[in-house]
Structure 1
Amino acid sequence: MIKSELVQKLADENPNLFHRDIERIVSIVFQEISDALARGDRVELRGFGAFSVKHRPARTGRNPRSGEAVQIEEKWAPFFKAGKELRDRLNGEGRFTEGAVAPPPGTPEPF
Protein backbone atom coordinates (compact mmCIF):
# COMPACT_ATOMS: atom_id res chain seq x y z
CA MET A 1 0.00 0.00 0.00
CA ILE A 2 1.30 3.45 -0.88
CA LYS A 3 0.47 6.74 0.81
CA SER A 4 -2.18 7.75 -1.74
CA GLU A 5 -3.94 4.39 -1.31
CA LEU A 6 -3.96 4.88 2.46
CA VAL A 7 -5.45 8.36 2.04
CA GLN A 8 -8.10 7.01 -0.34
CA LYS A 9 -9.04 4.17 2.02
CA LEU A 10 -9.40 6.62 4.93
CA ALA A 11 -11.48 8.94 2.72
CA ASP A 12 -13.75 6.05 1.73
CA GLU A 13 -14.24 5.06 5.37
CA ASN A 14 -14.81 8.66 6.51
CA PRO A 15 -17.04 10.41 3.95
CA ASN A 16 -17.68 13.23 6.42
CA LEU A 17 -14.04 14.41 6.13
CA PHE A 18 -12.55 16.32 3.22
CA HIS A 19 -9.96 14.48 1.14
CA ARG A 20 -7.45 17.33 1.58
CA ASP A 21 -7.84 17.14 5.38
CA ILE A 22 -7.14 13.40 5.37
CA GLU A 23 -4.04 13.96 3.20
CA ARG A 24 -2.83 16.58 5.66
CA ILE A 25 -3.44 14.31 8.68
CA VAL A 26 -1.54 11.40 7.11
CA SER A 27 1.34 13.72 6.14
CA ILE A 28 1.52 15.17 9.66
CA VAL A 29 1.59 11.69 11.25
CA PHE A 30 4.41 10.56 8.96
CA GLN A 31 6.31 13.82 9.50
CA GLU A 32 6.03 13.51 13.28
CA ILE A 33 7.35 9.93 13.16
CA SER A 34 10.26 11.09 10.97
CA ASP A 35 11.00 14.06 13.25
CA ALA A 36 10.99 11.85 16.36
CA LEU A 37 13.41 9.39 14.75
CA ALA A 38 15.66 12.27 13.64
CA ARG A 39 15.81 13.37 17.30
CA GLY A 40 16.77 9.82 18.29
CA ASP A 41 13.41 9.11 19.95
CA ARG A 42 11.54 5.82 19.75
CA VAL A 43 8.00 5.75 18.29
CA GLU A 44 5.67 3.00 19.47
CA LEU A 45 2.29 2.29 17.90
CA ARG A 46 0.53 -0.20 20.20
CA GLY A 47 -0.57 -3.33 18.40
CA PHE A 48 1.50 -2.44 15.32
CA GLY A 49 5.14 -2.03 16.31
CA ALA A 50 7.94 0.30 17.26
CA PHE A 51 10.26 2.45 15.18
CA SER A 52 13.71 3.25 16.51
CA VAL A 53 17.15 4.26 15.28
CA LYS A 54 20.18 1.96 15.37
CA HIS A 55 23.80 3.03 15.22
CA ARG A 56 26.00 1.33 12.65
CA PRO A 57 29.67 1.92 13.56
CA ALA A 58 32.35 2.66 10.97
CA ARG A 59 33.88 -0.45 9.45
CA THR A 60 36.06 -1.71 6.66
CA GLY A 61 34.17 -3.29 3.78
CA ARG A 62 35.11 -4.69 0.38
CA ASN A 63 34.33 -3.44 -3.10
CA PRO A 64 32.62 -6.48 -4.67
CA ARG A 65 34.07 -5.80 -8.13
CA SER A 66 37.70 -5.24 -7.26
CA GLY A 67 37.97 -6.77 -3.78
CA GLU A 68 39.62 -3.56 -2.64
CA ALA A 69 39.18 -2.55 1.02
CA VAL A 70 36.80 0.39 1.44
CA GLN A 71 36.23 2.42 4.57
CA ILE A 72 32.49 2.68 5.39
CA GLU A 73 31.48 5.61 7.57
CA GLU A 74 29.34 5.28 10.68
CA LYS A 75 25.65 5.85 10.15
CA TRP A 76 22.28 5.78 11.84
CA ALA A 77 19.59 3.56 10.31
CA PRO A 78 15.85 3.34 10.99
CA PHE A 79 14.70 0.07 12.53
CA PHE A 80 11.18 -1.38 12.85
CA LYS A 81 10.18 -4.11 15.27
CA ALA A 82 6.71 -5.54 14.73
CA GLY A 83 4.43 -5.72 17.76
CA LYS A 84 2.99 -8.95 19.12
CA GLU A 85 -0.49 -8.34 17.69
CA LEU A 86 0.92 -7.76 14.20
CA ARG A 87 3.14 -10.84 14.39
CA ASP A 88 0.20 -12.93 15.61
CA ARG A 89 -1.99 -11.64 12.79
CA LEU A 90 0.65 -12.45 10.17
CA ASN A 91 1.34 -15.92 11.54
CA GLY A 92 -2.02 -16.92 12.97
CA GLU A 93 -5.67 -17.23 12.08
CA GLY A 94 -5.97 -13.89 10.27
CA ARG A 95 -3.38 -14.79 7.65
CA PHE A 96 -4.29 -14.29 3.99
CA THR A 97 -7.77 -12.92 4.54
CA GLU A 98 -9.74 -10.81 2.08
CA GLY A 99 -7.54 -8.37 0.20
CA ALA A 100 -4.32 -10.15 1.12
CA VAL A 101 -2.17 -11.80 -1.51
CA ALA A 102 -0.94 -15.32 -0.87
CA PRO A 103 2.61 -16.18 -1.90
CA PRO A 104 3.04 -18.19 -5.13
CA PRO A 105 2.76 -21.97 -4.75
CA GLY A 106 6.03 -23.60 -3.78
CA THR A 107 7.34 -20.49 -1.99
CA PRO A 108 9.25 -21.58 1.13
CA GLU A 109 7.96 -20.36 4.48
CA PRO A 110 9.97 -17.51 6.02
CA PHE A 111 12.07 -18.33 9.07
Structure 2
Amino acid sequence: MSFDPATLTFDAAGLIPAIAQDAENGDVLMMAWMNAEAVARTLETGRVTYWSRSRQQFWIKGETSGHVQELVEMRVDCDRDCLLLAIRQTGPACHTNRRSCFYTAIRDGVEVVTMAPEAG
Protein backbone atom coordinates (compact mmCIF):
# COMPACT_ATOMS: atom_id res chain seq x y z
CA MET A 1 0.00 0.00 0.00
CA SER A 2 1.56 3.30 -1.05
CA PHE A 3 1.44 6.31 1.26
CA ASP A 4 -0.68 9.35 0.44
CA PRO A 5 -0.08 12.50 2.58
CA ALA A 6 -3.76 13.39 2.03
CA THR A 7 -4.66 10.55 4.43
CA LEU A 8 -3.09 12.49 7.32
CA THR A 9 -5.19 14.61 9.67
CA PHE A 10 -4.05 18.22 9.34
CA ASP A 11 -5.24 21.07 11.58
CA ALA A 12 -7.39 23.97 10.37
CA ALA A 13 -4.25 25.69 9.01
CA GLY A 14 -3.33 22.58 7.01
CA LEU A 15 -0.47 21.63 9.34
CA ILE A 16 0.60 18.54 11.27
CA PRO A 17 3.16 18.41 14.11
CA ALA A 18 6.38 16.56 13.30
CA ILE A 19 8.72 15.37 16.05
CA ALA A 20 12.35 14.86 15.01
CA GLN A 21 14.10 12.04 16.85
CA ASP A 22 17.71 10.88 16.54
CA ALA A 23 17.53 7.58 14.65
CA GLU A 24 20.56 6.16 16.48
CA ASN A 25 19.93 6.95 20.14
CA GLY A 26 16.25 7.95 20.29
CA ASP A 27 16.86 11.48 21.62
CA VAL A 28 14.00 13.85 20.85
CA LEU A 29 15.61 16.78 19.05
CA MET A 30 12.84 19.16 18.02
CA MET A 31 9.24 19.64 16.98
CA ALA A 32 8.09 21.64 13.98
CA TRP A 33 5.17 21.78 11.56
CA MET A 34 4.65 20.26 8.13
CA ASN A 35 1.95 20.66 5.53
CA ALA A 36 1.12 18.01 2.92
CA GLU A 37 3.68 19.41 0.47
CA ALA A 38 6.44 19.43 3.12
CA VAL A 39 5.65 15.78 3.89
CA ALA A 40 5.82 14.90 0.20
CA ARG A 41 9.07 16.85 -0.33
CA THR A 42 10.67 15.17 2.69
CA LEU A 43 9.75 11.70 1.43
CA GLU A 44 10.89 12.53 -2.09
CA THR A 45 14.26 14.11 -1.24
CA GLY A 46 15.20 12.56 2.12
CA ARG A 47 15.99 16.09 3.38
CA VAL A 48 13.56 17.06 6.12
CA THR A 49 11.40 19.97 5.01
CA TYR A 50 9.11 21.83 7.40
CA TRP A 51 6.60 24.64 6.97
CA SER A 52 7.62 27.86 8.71
CA ARG A 53 4.51 29.42 10.21
CA SER A 54 6.27 32.73 10.87
CA ARG A 55 7.75 33.08 7.36
CA GLN A 56 4.91 31.25 5.57
CA GLN A 57 7.37 29.27 3.46
CA PHE A 58 9.08 25.91 3.24
CA TRP A 59 12.08 25.45 5.48
CA ILE A 60 14.58 22.75 4.56
CA LYS A 61 16.37 22.02 7.82
CA GLY A 62 20.04 22.96 7.49
CA GLU A 63 19.65 24.89 4.24
CA THR A 64 21.28 28.00 5.74
CA SER A 65 22.86 26.64 8.94
CA GLY A 66 24.35 23.43 7.56
CA HIS A 67 22.63 21.54 10.40
CA VAL A 68 20.94 19.10 8.05
CA GLN A 69 18.33 16.50 8.94
CA GLU A 70 18.41 13.38 6.79
CA LEU A 71 15.26 11.27 6.98
CA VAL A 72 15.76 7.65 8.00
CA GLU A 73 12.10 6.80 8.55
CA MET A 74 8.78 8.61 8.88
CA ARG A 75 6.15 7.21 11.23
CA VAL A 76 2.48 8.17 11.54
CA ASP A 77 0.72 7.99 14.89
CA CYS A 78 -2.50 6.01 15.42
CA ASP A 79 -4.76 9.06 14.93
CA ARG A 80 -2.78 10.12 11.85
CA ASP A 81 -2.43 13.62 13.33
CA CYS A 82 1.27 13.60 14.31
CA LEU A 83 4.47 12.47 12.64
CA LEU A 84 7.63 11.02 14.13
CA LEU A 85 10.72 11.55 12.00
CA ALA A 86 13.68 9.29 12.69
CA ILE A 87 16.59 11.36 11.40
CA ARG A 88 20.35 11.67 11.12
CA GLN A 89 21.18 15.12 12.47
CA THR A 90 24.28 17.00 11.37
CA GLY A 91 25.22 19.57 14.02
CA PRO A 92 22.76 20.94 16.56
CA ALA A 93 19.02 20.69 15.88
CA CYS A 94 18.07 23.78 17.89
CA HIS A 95 18.49 27.38 16.70
CA THR A 96 20.14 28.06 20.10
CA ASN A 97 23.03 25.84 18.92
CA ARG A 98 22.05 22.99 21.26
CA ARG A 99 21.70 19.37 20.20
CA SER A 100 18.00 19.40 21.18
CA CYS A 101 15.33 22.08 21.56
CA PHE A 102 14.25 20.29 24.74
CA TYR A 103 17.07 21.51 26.95
CA THR A 104 14.98 23.00 29.77
CA ALA A 105 13.64 20.69 32.48
CA ILE A 106 11.11 21.58 35.17
CA ARG A 107 12.39 20.09 38.43
CA ASP A 108 10.54 20.74 41.66
CA GLY A 109 8.86 23.75 40.06
CA VAL A 110 12.16 25.26 38.88
CA GLU A 111 13.43 25.56 35.31
CA VAL A 112 16.82 23.92 34.89
CA VAL A 113 18.90 24.20 31.71
CA THR A 114 20.21 20.69 31.02
CA MET A 115 22.55 21.25 28.07
CA ALA A 116 24.92 23.95 26.97
CA PRO A 117 25.16 25.27 23.41
CA GLU A 118 27.64 23.42 21.21
CA ALA A 119 30.90 25.18 20.49
CA GLY A 120 31.07 26.65 17.06
TM-score, scaled to structure 1: 0.30
The structure with more helix, counted as a fraction of residues: 1
Which one scores higher on RCO, CA 8 angstroms, separation ≥ 6?
A: 2
Larger Rg: 1
TM-score, scaled to structure 2: 0.28
The structure with more strand, counted as a fraction of residues: 2
